[in-house]
Chains A and B, each alone.
Chain A
Amino acid sequence: MLEDLFKMVKDRFNEEQKDEAEASAPEIPKDLLFKCPRCQNVFYMDEFEKRKKTCPVCNYHARLSAKERLDITVDKDSFKPFDENMVSLNPIGFPDYEKKIKGMQDNTGLKDAVVTGECTIRGYRAVIGIMDSNFMMASMGSVVGEKITRAFEYATEHKLPVILFTASGGARMQEGIISLMQMAKTSGAVKRHSDAGGLYITVLTDPTTGGVTASFASLGDIILAEPKVLVGFAGRRVIQDTIKQKLPDDFQTAEFLLESGFVDAIADRRSMRKTLSNILRLHNYKKIGANWQHG
């Protein structure tokens, strides 16, 4: 079946190339196809993208960049970023850390693994944070910790709700104990926002693990998760090494968490704006503009 599909794509590709010069070899560009890491089915990229990068068969919600997430989530032109120029230093003198950061910045156009700011979603004002797994697997170091803390402090001060799209490989090893302390720092800011009566919605996206799961990602008043995403504390490999057994496929998925009682609901990204604005409305946050648009 898979072979057939590849052949189909190849044929289609070749057909498209017929009229063009014969110079280039008929190779299938990688970005023409999407192979779902959950159900292993293969699709045309355009179909996958039309569905906002969700799998047509199993509805796995694939990883998005922070930019892509912003585009499909907030009202057009409503996003005002916070702390855009904050960059990591090298607290434990980890070899080549600066070089690694620089390379990541060049590749992703990001300064670090989280984008924070203020926005409206269908007219409702909110502070938003989006983690981007393209940047060092969105591990949490000083910059992620500080930006998230400041976002919560801003929201507390301005009586705004906070929505975080989490994704992370965990604490950033290269920053040693400083990265562990970011778990306490962020959780402290979440707690103060909560004690002041603020609403915090967590949206768990692929993958949310380690120190982020063990801090702010698990502290939402309402915790949503995208379908089929990986969420857990310990890595699969670590657990497998501990128990010396293969783990079931659905272990640490959003659905596993729902069943275990740790998420409020599975939320489809294609109706995420509606889901979020509904929740904001039900918490008596007021719309600030009736003329919101979504691009």
Chain B
Amino acid sequence: MSNMTATQHLEIIREKNRPTVNDYIPAIFNHFTEFHGDRHYGDDAAIMAGIATLNSTPVTVIAQVKGRNLEENKKSNFSMPHPEGYRKALRLAYQAEKFHRPVICFVDTPGAFCGVEAEKRGQGEAIAKNIAEFMTLKTPVISVVLGEGGSGGALALAVCDELAMLEHALYSVISPRGFASILWKDPSREKEAADLMKITADDLYNFGVCDKIIPEPVGGAHTDPAQTADNISEYLISAVERLSKLDIPTLLDNRYKKFRKIGVFSE
């Protein structure tokens, strides 16, 4: 358990050289083949998806793409997906179900994109549908939060059998900036919000939201991307093996209960 504050984690995940899926996918998988498009509207570069092998097992990979520089970020819209991105993800999830491939999602987004076109094409509906459909997807689903996981835009790729977080990753109901903006009308109080919101991997592990914390090298993933990729890979291989042993009704029942039990109330 680390003694770092959420703000300190935030500084690490915003490190310019922090590895992204563009670094991890070639290091973790073999034969990655990217597939595009949602078959309805278009192709969203904020979500990259395709098939690959993980330790010789075929898997489907769905990943939110944080850019490594401004140019990449412009292309992937700073990892803020549009509805067609979520629909591409769902299309490939159904494909994975059909061909009995485990699904591996990488979450790395401040949130779904907020804009006129996103609304017009049903951002809310796209996210809702992913959440509901992933809940009963008849194949193992593993999600790994790499950096920032923000709001429904993250959850749309995080309804899963096991949720893992990199040691410094954060996962929250809304980005700390958005939180400060909504509750205090002052986005500059972002750091104060981060420390208040209980969004670190340790916090989420304690809430029962996160199932596994994947260690990062000292100082953060950017200090040794290869080692970080190995750590992720080791976890994914064991998780796929573990979950593939379960029959589908048990798998789905466990998945339902994983979320069903979360809530803090009295009556």
Contacts and interface: CB of A to CB of B under 8 A. Distances in A.
Interface of A: 83, 85-95, 142-143, 145-146, 149, 171, 173, 175-185, 187-192, 194-195, 210-211, 213-219, 232-235, 238-239, 242-243, 247, 251-252, 256, 260-262
Contacts of B128: 187, 213-219
A135 B132 CA distance: 27
A232 B119 contact: yes
Given A181-B259, A195-B136, A211-B151, A89 B266 contact: yes
Contact of A176 (B178, B197, B263, B267): B197
Q: Give chain B's interface residue range (CB within 8 Å of chain A).
A: 35 or more
Given A171-B151, A177-B204, A216-B128, A146 B265 contact: yes
A91 B152 contact: no
A240 to B, nearest CB: 10
B209 interface: yes
Output the residue of A85, A184, A188 with the most chain B CB within 10 A.
A184
Nearest to A261: B122
Interface of B: 112, 114-116, 118-125, 127-129, 131-133, 135-136, 151-152, 155-156, 159, 171-174, 178-179, 182-183, 196-199, 203-204, 207, 209, 256, 259-260, 262-267
A87 B265 contact: yes
B76 to A, nearest CB: 16
Given A211-B152, A243-B115, 11 more contacts: A95-B196, A171-B152, A171-B174, A173-B183, A178-B262, A180-B152, A184-B259, A185-B263, A187-B128, A217-B128, A242-B115
Nearest to A86: B267
A187 B204 CA distance: 21
B260 A149 contact: yes
Nearest to A238: B114
A215 B131 contact: yes
B77 to A, nearest CB: 11
Nearest to B267: A86
A101 B174 CA distance: 21
A41 B259 CA distance: 46
Contacts of B267: 83, 85-87
Contacts of A175: 173, 264
A252 B114 contact: no
A187 to B, nearest CB: 4
Nearest 10 pairs of A and B residues by beta carbon: A234-B114, A213-B124, A218-B128, A233-B124, A142-B263, A91-B264, A214-B127, A214-B152, A233-B123, A181-B262
A288 B204 CA distance: 47
B256 A214 contact: no
B155 to A, nearest CB: 6
10 contacts: A146-B265, A176-B172, A177-B173, A177-B198, A180-B172, A187-B131, A188-B259, A210-B152, A215-B152, A251-B119
Output the residue of B172, B173, B197, B260 with the most chain A CB within 10 A.
B173
Contacts of A251: 116, 119
Contacts of A261: 122
B152 A176 contact: no
Nearest to A210: B152
Given A184-B131, A188-B132, A188-B260, A177 B207 contact: yes
A180 B115 contact: no
Given A214-B152, A260-B121, A239 B116 contact: yes
B172 A178 contact: no
Contacts of A149: 260
A89 B123 contact: no
A224 to B, nearest CB: 15
A179 B115 contact: no
A92 B256 contact: no
A89 B267 CA distance: 10
A232 B127 CA distance: 12
B102 to A, nearest CB: 19
Contact of A218 (B129, B155, B172, B256): B129
Contacts of B115: 234, 239, 242-243
Given A171-B174, A178-B263, A190 B119 contact: no
Given A86-B266, A143-B265, A183-B131, A218 B171 contact: no
